[in-house]
Structure 1
Amino acid sequence: MNYRILIVSLLAMATLFSCKDKGPDTPEYPETKKVDTVDVYYGTEVPDPYRWLEDDQSEETKDWVQRQVKVTNKYLSEIPFRDRLKERLTEVWNYEKQGTPVRKGKYWFFMRNNGLQNQYVVYVKEGEDGEERVLLDPNKLSDDGTVALSDYAVSEDGTYMAYSISRGGSDWREIYVLDVATGEQLDDHLEWVKFSGISWMGEKGFVYSRYDAPAQGEELTNVNEFQQVYYHQIGDEQSQDELIYKDPVNALRNFTAEVDDDNKNIVLSGSESTSNNSFLIREWNSEEWAVADTSFENNTVYLGTVNGKYWVLTDFDAPRYRVMAINPENPAIDLWEEVVAEKGDVLNGVALSENYAVAHYMVDAESKLLVFDFFGKELYEIELPGRGSVGALRTTREDDELFYSFDSYNVPGQVIDFNLETRESDIIFEPEVDFDGDNYETRLVFIEAEDGAQVPLHIVHKKGIELDGNNPLMLYGYGGFNVVYSPGFDVRLIPWLENGGVYVNAHIRGGGEYGEDWHQGGTKLNKQRVFDDFILAAEKVIEMGYTNADKIAIRGGSNGGLLLGAVVNQRPELFQVSLPAVGVMDMLRYHKFTIGWAWAGDYGRSDESEEMFRYLYGYSPVHNIKSGVDYPATLVFTADHDDRVVPAHSFKYIATLQEKYKGENPVLIRIETKAGHGAGKPVSKQIEEVADMYAFTFYNMGLEPYNW
């Protein structure tokens, strides 16, 4: 061997691994008390030694949290390149972002962030060429950016804007009302709103959904039961709101009401889980509900009224969705009429203009737009800027102008104005980012599962990458609840990609990439397929020469956190770093907190049958951590105000991992304060979190970013 080459190679290796010599040591974990709590399921005793951590209000839990935070902060602070990652993230994050406009009456509404604002600001202008003014700046609602705008809805003529805010990341919402012309905030203030839309009835008021106030101290943990629909008239106290609907029998159902296009009827959707809903219709001044569908076997969404018929997007006898028309006078499901038939691609959404229907289809998780007339005839396809994702289709029923956003992994979000009549297209907003997307490429690869399913992977990296099996690779997955993470621009990926990292988005079963069949293929007693698909993805990227097991980091949040917890237990040797965020880690008790009961449609419940219990027990992350196993370096992410997946899941998971794992890889938990499940998190907190994630990942791969 040429000795000069050998010396250079050794020096290069020294550069790559020098960070291990000057960084943090394996941490000493806080001692976590164990209790003798044991549950019995169908004759099987299941210990739960960290049950006490479920009480996040106790002084004992708060003390444990502080001790964990101290250890994690010390470890992260000693990683030498952590600050450099934060600096670079701050640089690339600092670009103007803008949403698609919403038009109501004479006003145009849109959201914008100047770069590093913690929250997006709502602007308004009169007409396309009017002068912009700030209508609502959520950054002024708190000193630290932890009060976030969750939603807003404008009355049809643009007189009022009702908006909801979230405090500290909680799912609880408060609704306020603004006078659009003056910007004055009215006295209206609605509380204990959760999982609710805002739908205006004319200009006088709107319908929304809420719960009764929880007991003090249980706001973030109590089971959400008996959601009710109310009508609020502008100027009234909340106590005066009119009850529109309440189910006094079925506590575990959610209800969303929408006023139809003619301000005549209320459309009510009820749900027992995160998918499938009932569909009822009622005249505004009537007390009788006409039943369209109460089977809870279909997903049906009201799109608008066309020639007196309700157009709905539904998977009724169409797992990849179609458009059907309902006569509101006689809405029984057996009388529904097909307008746009099911295709091979998944119909993801439809926007109605004055004369056209714009259908958003998914093709292997990528977007396609087709235009139909009101007889269901396909007219033409809208040419998109490239392969990627369309978002926020916006139309009005007064004209044929369409606004939509487009992005892909290497194209930041654009806003496009398209005339459906003339077919002319114009990019009205295009951001300038400190990132040259032309230097990167995206591949769509299919891998074959054991049962023959073709699982798509989007693989992103620098052009000209060497397939030498030694590239750092981030594997992302979700796999649940019919959710699709389509290819889109994510500023958080830039430090990873520009440091030679490969990013892989695995479109595993449980999502909605190929309709309801793909979703159901990863639910309940099929859940192991989700884990198998993800493990297969890791094996295949190694086989293709992208990386090796010492260079794979895995990332996922919520249901994706469950995914990581399960696959790490099943194949710990396949991953070097695990980054589960706000994960569902205790599969035997998840339904006992907040809205957890609604996930049973995907998971099943430990108390529904012995078969279901044993299946859940067989993969539940908390219950399958073993002693004597070499687990990956693990950084768990959670937040103190997460009332979607309560932090007890992550607390119990990391306590168990720290108890049973005795190896050198760090197993830590990062607990954010004044934050929740993720929505509305201030930009400042996001930057710090992502910097910590990359610092932990690079360090535990033996790599130093911006230094090779």
Structure 2
Amino acid sequence: MKNKFLSFSENRVAVSRPQASINRPTNEAPPAAEERHLRIVYPEARKDSNAEEMIHEYRIRDVYRWLENPDSAETKRFVNAQNSISQPFLERCDERGMINTKLTKLWNFPKFGCPMRHGDFIYFFKNTGLQNQGVLMQQETLDGPEIAFLDPNSLAADGTVALSQQKFSENGAFMAYGLSESGSDWNKIRIRRAKERTDFPEVLEKVKFSKVSWTKDNKGFFYGRYADQDGKTDGSETKQNENQKLYYHRVGESQDQDTLVAEFPEHPSWRIQPDVSDCGKYLILSISHTVRDNMVYYADLTEGEEINSKLTVNPVVDKFEGDYDYITNDGSDMYFHTNKDAPNYRVVVIDFANPAEENWKTLIPEHEKDVLDWAKCVNEDKLVVCYNRDVKNILQVYELRTGTLIRQFGLDIGTVNAISGKRKYSEIFYSFSSFLTPGITYHYDFAKPLEKPKVLREITLNLEGFNRDDYIVDQVFYKSIDDTNIPMFIIRKKRDTVEPRPCLMSGYGGFNYSLMPSFGITGLMFMDTFDGILAFPNLRGGGEYGINWHNGGRLLNKQNVFDDFQAAAMYLAENHYTTKDRLAIQGASNGGLLVGACINQRPDLFGAAVAQVGVMDMLRFHKFTIGHAWCSDYGNPDDREHFAYLFKYSPLHNVHFPLNPNEEYPSTLIMTADHDDRVSPLHSLKFAAALQEAVRHSEYQLNPILLRVYTNAGHGAGKPTRMRINEVTDIMTFLRKTLNVDIVNL
């Protein structure tokens, strides 16, 4: 899910024949056709005969609900039984070792993050190539020596402790930082001294979905925590996250001395994000209960007074009717990036002394077509603004007080991944990437307006023979089922003619998230190894064309997302980019739901499918961890109309028995992890059990249905390099064994 705030016991299961690859010359058919006929004996998951209930006049049989308990011995046996099938299938392949070796070599190149200036130092993340986690480096000048400021690799031998967030105090003397273990969304907050590179003793726990915001006196910061959550908080639990409270922490004190400054006990699902205004006089509270729309409250911070009790919070926006992101302020005039009455977003000025909506002033109006992604105040009175124009970023600069456009930075087709800068500094850094460009970092100083942005660093690959000029990126527009034009990027090697090639198509389509051009090693590996192509359709439900585009694929319009994805598959086949037996689809999180729904609805379109950490039970998603926040996109199953609509496409509840060859499921790999507390693994477990039971006795189902459950891993963020390489190795091996591909470069 987009976060806006959003191995067990032994149980061997035999297969009828060994799952071994067969050596062939590369010009012969791949092993998929032969190996898929080796029928797998799937584990027989117990069906609970009592798991039946009436919901909104629907009789629902939830026979695998027992899999919702991750700690039960029976669930652990089920997971082990699944891994005892999927691991041998993925590991017994002649080319697997070569795939892993090539991936490791491909991954082994230096990677750099966007620099940030704080106080006396400049910081940036650096990974020498195969380090499990990037290291936060410190410099006094841009060309000065690099010193490791914080190395997460030293915190866990297996690399499963990740630096999840960092925020420096106003003077740069301290850094509050979050650590995530095993991929969980739970954070432990610590504080580090900038000069000494040592930590204070306190550790703040039970922190989740909260950033840190320092007071301007550098004495402490605000943060949110789920103080009342009992039981496990390591990411393996399924309990709902409720009753987040806002606290103030003073540097050097223990967490039990923190001051509770705001809470809303009558609204347990509300989450609070703090922002101390640039002037330091206001604490701005962004309050949300889903991943869409937020309210705005504020509290006065009187200079010099200690924060030792609850603050009086005043409403500015007290309805969930739009998104509001604080940018900066001049006194009580607050600048916000918002989509209120502006589907493509605008910048407005709200006077906190007179906050009625009729008094708001528009500084940068909504553009008719381009979507205003974000705005940042730098160099005292400049707004750096990023637009999304037909799924390509445009970077511009406006004058803060007049809203006058004063310059535009030149960008290739691609994405601004990160930007750093402050109102008190004249310089900015920004990083750019695209499908074929791993990353370029630029440096620009507004104090030198006649100079162009300079390339500070450019990431280069360690892949012999790779030349981005050998590839072409096309953006096409195709018709969905209802004749809506959908954009799609197709990345392929240059050829005189288009001919069917292996194709990996990925999608998302949800939560106002835009699937922008970005570099991915998985895609490059697929193209280089299988002489394949990549396809990225920009489905409705995303944010590529503003809130109207998002609305077109959410709630009672969610089927449009699946239709758009299926139409993309048909377009690729009809225009000879690929064929069904050469087309694989992939999606994660909401994209995993996409894959699950589409293989139920149109299994005849795809040769293989990879569904990662997907939301598969659409009738109960809101009952676990942070799932209730997704009701803004999916609808609330407690509502009868929403329930009826969700029931029609819920992957778990629409599994079918293949009655003819066209109903055969594509070869399917379902992937999840035991510490995923964003989308609990129960979704994947229940879906896999239902799928395997449905195909168990079908004479037409020859393609494998596999579930792979990883340990000490989460939803994806912070995953160590070692795990990422092994996971992509599993995917590439799976596609090698189940898709019609030729290995041309291994």
- TM-score norm. by structure 2 comes to 0.91
Determine which of 643, 649, 672 is the counterpart of 2:683. 649
Partner Cα separation in structure 1 for residue 677 and residue 149 of structure 2: 29
* 2:11 counterpart residue number: none
Determine which of 379, 382, 387 is the counterpart of 2:413. 387
| Seq. identity, % | 38
* 2:457 counterpart residue number: 429
Q: 1:22 to 1:524 in 2, by over 3 A?
A: closer
* 2:16 counterpart residue number: none
Determine which of 636, 649, 655 is the counterpart of 1:619. 649
* 1:304 counterpart residue number: 328
Partner Cα separation in structure 2 for residue 269 and residue 18 of structure 1: 54
Partner Cα separation in structure 2 for residue 273 and residue 545 of structure 1: 41
Determine which of 456, 463, 466 is the counterpart of 2:494. 463
* 2:364 counterpart residue number: 340
Check the 8 A contact 1:139/1:145 in 2, yes or no. Answer: yes
* 1:350 counterpart residue number: 375
Partner Cα separation in structure 1 for residue 713 and residue 472 of structure 2: 34
Partner Cα separation in structure 2 for residue 702 and residue 324 of structure 1: 53
Partner Cα separation in structure 2 for residue 274 and residue 414 of structure 1: 31
Determine which of 588, 605, 613 is the counterpart of 1:557. 588
| Pair 1:228-2:241 in alignment | no
Check the 8 A contact 2:27/2:742 in 1, yes or no. Answer: no
Partner Cα separation in structure 1 for residue 138 and residue 256 of structure 2: 31
1:420-474 CA distances to partner (integer Å, 9 max, x unpaired)? 3234211111122023211111101011234342210011011116423x31111
Check the 8 A contact 1:81/1:704 in 2, yes or no. Answer: no
Check the 8 A contact 1:27/1:75 in 2, yes or no. Answer: no
* 1:166 counterpart residue number: 180
Q: 1:218 to 1:308 in 2, by over 3 A?
A: closer
Alignment of 1:547-626 (within 5 A): 547-609=578-640, 611-626=641-656
Partner Cα separation in structure 1 for residue 240 and residue 355 of structure 2: 34
1:509-564 CA distances to partner (integer Å, 9 max, x unpaired)? 00000001100111110000011111111111111110111111000011111111
Partner Cα separation in structure 2 for residue 450 and residue 671 of structure 1: 35
Check the 8 A contact 2:372/2:388 in 1, yes or no. Answer: yes
Larger deviation, residues 472-481 vs 18-27: 18-27
Partner Cα separation in structure 1 for residue 359 and residue 243 of structure 2: 31
Alignment of 1:310-459 (within 5 A): 310-343=334-367, 344-354=369-379, 355-374=381-400, 375-384=402-411, 386-420=412-446, 421-433=449-461, 434=463, 435-459=466-490
Partner Cα separation in structure 2 for residue 627 and residue 275 of structure 1: 37
Check the 8 A contact 2:64/2:689 in 1, yes or no. Answer: yes
* 1:503 counterpart residue number: 534
Partner Cα separation in structure 2 for residue 71 and residue 467 of structure 1: 38
| Pair 1:137-2:151 in alignment | yes
| Pair 1:207-2:233 in alignment | no
* 1:701 counterpart residue number: 739
Determine which of 482, 486, 490 is the counterpart of 2:512. 482
> SS at 1:412's partner residue?
coil
* 1:82 counterpart residue number: 96
1:48-93 CA distances to partner (integer Å, 9 max, x unpaired)? 1101000011111111111111111111111221111111111111
1:564-602 CA distances to partner (integer Å, 9 max, x unpaired)? 111111101000101010000000000000000000000
> SS at 1:17's partner residue?
coil
* 1:686 counterpart residue number: 724
Check the 8 A contact 1:484/1:511 in 2, yes or no. Answer: yes
1:153-181 CA distances to partner (integer Å, 9 max, x unpaired)? 01111100110010011111100000110
Amino acid across the alignment from 1:69? N
Query: RMSD of the alignment, in Å?
Result: 1.7
- Offset of 1:24 from its aligned partner? 9.3
Check the 8 A contact 2:610/2:731 in 1, yes or no. Answer: yes
- Offset of 1:607 from its aligned partner? 1.3
Check the 8 A contact 1:458/1:505 in 2, yes or no. Answer: yes
> SS at 1:542's partner residue?
helix
Q: 1:109 to 1:289 in 2, by over 3 A?
A: same
> SS at 1:686's partner residue?
helix
Please, which runs of 5 or more residues in structure 2 have no aligned partner?
A: 1-23, 303-309
Check the 8 A contact 2:32/2:736 in 1, yes or no. Answer: no
1:93-112 CA distances to partner (integer Å, 9 max, x unpaired)? 10111111111122111111
Please, which runs of 5 or more residues in structure 1 have no aligned partner?
A: 1-10
1:615-638 CA distances to partner (integer Å, 9 max, x unpaired)? 111100000001123100000010
* 1:7 counterpart residue number: none
1:8-30 CA distances to partner (integer Å, 9 max, x unpaired)? xxx98962235755899332212
Q: 1:315 to 1:632 in 2, by over 3 A?
A: same
Partner Cα separation in structure 1 for residue 35 and residue 665 of structure 2: 23
Q: 1:215 to 1:396 in 2, by over 3 A?
A: closer
Aligned residues: 695
Larger deviation, residues 53-62 vs 26-35: 26-35
Determine which of 39, 46, 49 is the counterpart of 1:33. 46
> SS at 1:615's partner residue?
helix
* 1:637 counterpart residue number: 671
Partner Cα separation in structure 1 for residue 531 and residue 376 of structure 2: 40
Partner Cα separation in structure 2 for residue 120 and residue 339 of structure 1: 39
* 1:279 counterpart residue number: 296
Partner Cα separation in structure 1 for residue 229 and residue 165 of structure 2: 22
> SS at 2:203's partner residue?
strand
- Offset of 1:281 from its aligned partner? 1.4
Amino acid across the alignment from 2:716? G
Partner Cα separation in structure 1 for residue 148 and residue 124 of structure 2: 10
Check the 8 A contact 1:23/1:80 in 2, yes or no. Answer: no
Partner Cα separation in structure 2 for residue 287 and residue 379 of structure 1: 40
* 2:4 counterpart residue number: none
1:386-418 CA distances to partner (integer Å, 9 max, x unpaired)? 111112121121233221001111111111112
Check the 8 A contact 2:294/2:321 in 1, yes or no. Answer: yes
Check the 8 A contact 2:274/2:286 in 1, yes or no. Answer: yes
Partner Cα separation in structure 1 for residue 360 and residue 35 of structure 2: 68
Check the 8 A contact 1:119/1:145 in 2, yes or no. Answer: yes
Check the 8 A contact 2:502/2:740 in 1, yes or no. Answer: no
Check the 8 A contact 1:229/1:244 in 2, yes or no. Answer: yes
Partner Cα separation in structure 2 for residue 85 and residue 13 of structure 1: 15
- TM-score norm. by structure 1 comes to 0.96
Larger deviation, residues 532-541 vs 119-128: 119-128
Determine which of 709, 712, 716 is the counterpart of 1:674. 712
1:184-230 CA distances to partner (integer Å, 9 max, x unpaired)? 11112100000000111121101111102533247521011111111
1:613-669 CA distances to partner (integer Å, 9 max, x unpaired)? 111111000000011231000000100000110000000000001101131111001
Amino acid across the alignment from 1:589? R
* 1:99 counterpart residue number: 113
Amino acid across the alignment from 1:88? K
Determine which of 20, 28, 35 is the counterpart of 1:15. 28
Check the 8 A contact 1:147/1:167 in 2, yes or no. Answer: yes
Amino acid across the alignment from 1:412? P
Partner Cα separation in structure 2 for residue 284 and residue 504 of structure 1: 50
1:280-338 CA distances to partner (integer Å, 9 max, x unpaired)? 11102583323211111110000112465211100011010011112232223332111
- Offset of 1:612 from its aligned partner? 1.5
